[in-house]
Amino acid sequence: MTDGNTVNRPVARPGVMAIAPYVPGKSKGSRVRTYHKLSSNETPLGPSPKAVEAYKTAASHLELYPDGSTAELREAIAGAMGINPAQIICGNGSDDLLGMITHAYIGEGDETIFTEHGFLMYRIVTLAAGGTPVVIPETDKKADVDAILAAVTPRTKIVFLANPNNPTGTYLPQSEVRRLHAGLPKNVVLVLDAAYAEYVRRNDYEAGIELVGQSENVIMTRTFSKVHGLAALRVGWAYGPEHMIDALNRIRGPFNINAPGLAAATAAIKDRAFLEAAVDHNAKWLPWLTEAFTELGIEVTPSVGNFLLLNFPEGSGLTAEAADLFLLEEGIVLRRLEPYNLPNALRMSIGSEEANRATVDALARFMKGGGEQAAHG
Ligand SMILES: *Cc1c(COP(=O)(O)O)cnc(C)c1O
């Protein structure tokens, strides 16, 4: 290891250079005019018109600092969720919150636990804080509570669980999350990343509000990027015990949410009808797409989110890579999953009716032999 004092330029801490930079979903197809971007789990409905209006109004006061306490947004979230605003903290996207939680609770030598196909940010924030990521195998593309608990050591400080998980779309029922929590030492933080909670329509699912209310070591993160359609503005929030929110408030940037983002998010969370329309659209197309792809011979991992994991047949030449190239030629962009250790799968965000039908249509041609052309031509 090089001593930082003997070289002629600054050297980042070792963990920092171990980070593989996050690669976002591609945003363009190869060369066609129209394209459907289904690579980042963005909503096809866009944001609420009320959120857009609030954003425009905020644009006429750009000389003013935003409200660093985010009081109005926290009140609006608290009202919508029936929780205490003093237990909410807002972040510049939930990625910002994941970073803050990690910086507050781990240091060099500490471990965080997450699962094999868990969200990529957990590794990045762990390494950035000088910690050691411990990655646990999944069972049937689902987090395995017993395997997670078996990996806990005295060095474990945080367990990250995306529920539902991205990119698999699978979820753990409330009973399993509670079993996980009950098995963790009381000093270990359980992060419930519920970025897709609004989409889940299952009686045995709980995003984390109840569990946070009953414990001292659980924090739930949420986002305005997905169902609310405000990914461009970077607004997320977390709900946790007051002592944790207090710790995070000490390390966050004092103005970590911009004013137009605050205004738009506050309007968005109040627009219940728009939220319901977005959830209904998803509930309609999720089963339709699952069935259509299954009929084509593509194995779809059962999803409760706004995206599908498409597993291409093994050993057939009809690989995820060939499918991706084929779709790009058609102007359809899905997400490649090599960084998630799922090299023969693609993730498709549920899009507009037009995008969904176009994707099924293109993959039908691919599966009937078009893949050969894409692979060789
Ligand atoms: C999209 C996503 C987020 C949200 O990220 P933002 O920074 O709020 O845009 C968080 N967790 C998971 C698992 C996600 O897929």
Q: Which atom of ligand 1 is nearest to the CA of 234?
A: 9
pLDDT for residue 5: 60
Q: How far is the CA of 94 from the centre of ligand 1 (A)?
A: 6
Residue identifier of the C-alpha nearest atom 14 of ligand 1 = 195
- Does ligand 1 come within 6 angstroms of the Cβ of 326? no
- Measured by CA distance, the residue closest to atom 12 of ligand 1 is 195
Closest CA to 13 of 109, 154, 100: 109
The CA–CA distances, whole Å, from 88 to 65, 109, 172, 181 equal: 21, 29, 24, 21
pLDDT single digits (tens) 188-234: 999 999 999 999 999 999 999 999 999 999 999 999 999 999 999 99
Q: Which domains does the chain have, with CATH numbers?
A: 18-46+273-376 (3.90.1150.10), 49-270 (3.40.640.10)
Q: DSSP state, 60? A: G
Separation between Cα atoms, residue 269 and residue 205, nearest integer Å: 21
Residue 16 amino acid letter: V
193 lines ligand 1 (CB under 6 A): yes
Q: At what angle do helices 259-270 and 49-58 cross, to 10 degrees?
A: 150
Query: What is the chain's length?
Result: 377
> Mean pLDDT for the chain?
94
pLDDT tens digit sequence for 128-177: 999 999 999 999 999 999 999 999 999 999 999 999 999 999 999 999 99
> What's the whole-model pTM score?
0.94
Q: Whose CA is nearest to atom 2 of ligand 1?
A: 195
Q: How many CB atoms lie within 10 A of CB 1?
A: 5
| Residue whose pair of structure tokens reads 């949420």 in the numeric block | 222
Question: What does the pLDDT read at residue 140?
Answer: 94
166 C-alpha to ligand 1 centroid (Å): 9
Instruction: Report angle CA 7, 12, 13 to the nearest 5 degrees.
Output: 110
Q: Is 225 in the pocket of ligand 1 (CB under 6 A)?
A: yes
Give the position, in ligand 1's atom list, of the atom nearest the Cα of 119: 13
Residues of the chain with pLDDT under 70: 1-6, 28-34, 370-377
pLDDT, position 18: 85
**What are the phi and psi torsion angles at 346 (to 5°)?**
-125, 150
Distance CA 14, CA 179 (A): 35
Ramachandran angles phi, psi of 312, nearest 5°: -80, 150
Q: How many angstroms is it from 279 CA to the middle of ligand 1?
A: 17
The CB of 94 under 6 Å from ligand 1? The reply is yes
Atom of ligand 1 nearest to the CA of 41: 1
